[in-house]
A = this chain, B = another copy of it.
Amino acid sequence: MLAPSTRPVVLDPHGAGNACAHCDARSHSVCNAVPDSDIARLAAIATVSHAQPGTTLIQEGDPATHFFNISAGTVRMYKLLPDGRRQITGFAGMGHFLGLAVSDTYAFSAEAIDTVRYCRFSRARVRTLLDDYPAMEKRLLEVASTELVAAQDQMLLLGRKTARERLASFLMTQSRQGVFCHGTRAQFVLPMSRGDIADYLGLTIETVSRTFTKLRSEGFIDIPSATEITIRAPVALEGMATGMG
């Protein structure tokens, strides 16, 4: 056993090392509920991994053995019907926490869209950690509540909005949360394909493509390349997104 020090060095057999202390995503994630002084405890149960585009992180129905925390890249969460119809329930980016579930199996699948860096935590060990850090449990409840609100918004979108309104909503959300170019929120990159957007918005690829084209021809947006969007009329789009356009 090493002598105690103010910030113990932890040698992690899984390769996480002291990763948590220097993790860019920590301040964006539930991990910030663990104080600096105890960060090594968090690092000790974390395994840092990478996933290439298209890799499955979570398979719906598999035993829910781990939690995941995304530290870079974007993940799509989705559910399938037996004939292949897919509904993407959300995209998870930096700081996003995955795997909340009461059931002992995962309720959805998750795949890397681009190259993803993530931490994996065993559920059993996280449970132990939660007993010592009630603040983390509170943070998880916050996260779950926030996601619940987002899910309700998405239900309104899927149940009652037109294709145009869905795309406008999607673009406004992306411009708030997305990956930015040139330091401005008005221009950003879409890491996901048209097919992903369609399956997220309950539409087809063709309708997504046509609606993008229409919004461009009307001057609301610009599409420098298939993966880049510039918002030209944020106020008008916001109105459209909320059903007033």
Q: Are B243 and A85 in contact (CB under 8 A)?
A: yes
Q: Are A101 and B244 in contact (CB under 8 A)?
A: no
A232 at the interface (CB under 8 A from B): no
1/0 per position for A2-45, CB-CB distance to B under 8 A? 00000000000000000000000000000000000000000000
State in angstroms the CA–CA spacing of A83 and B165 once bound together: 13
State in angstroms the CA–CA spacing of A239 and B140 once bound together: 35
Which of A149-157, A175-183, A186-194 lies at the binding interface?
A149-157
Q: Are B152 and A81 in contact (CB under 8 A)?
A: no
Which of A102-110, A117-125, A209-217, A221-229 lies at the binding interface?
A102-110
State in angstroms the CA–CA spacing of A160 and B2 once bound together: 57
Name the B residues within 8 Å of A81 (CB-CB): 156, 160-161, 242-243
Interface size class of A (residues with CB under 8 A): 35 or more
Closest residue to A144 on the B side, CB-wise? B144
Name the B residues within 8 Å of A101 (CB-CB): 145, 149
Q: Are A89 and B142 in contact (CB under 8 A)?
A: no
* Residues 68-107 of A contacting B (Cβ, < 8 Å): 77, 79, 81-83, 85-87, 89, 100-103, 107
Whether A148 touches B149, Cβ cut-off 8 Å, given contacts A137-B134, A141-B140, is no
Q: Specify which of B85, B100, B137 is in contact with A137 (CB 8 Å cutoff).
A: B137
State in angstroms the CA–CA spacing of A138 and B130 once bound together: 10
A147 at the interface (CB under 8 A from B): yes
Name the B residues within 8 Å of A154 (CB-CB): 151, 155
Q: Are A202 and B82 in contact (CB under 8 A)?
A: no
Closest residue to A138 on the B side, CB-wise? B137
Q: Specify which of B83, B85, B142, B243 is in contact with A82 (CB 8 Å cutoff).
A: B243
Can you give 10 contacting A-B residue pairs, CB < 8 Å? A79-B156, A82-B244, A87-B155, A102-B146, A103-B149, A137-B141, A144-B144, A148-B151, A151-B151, A151-B155
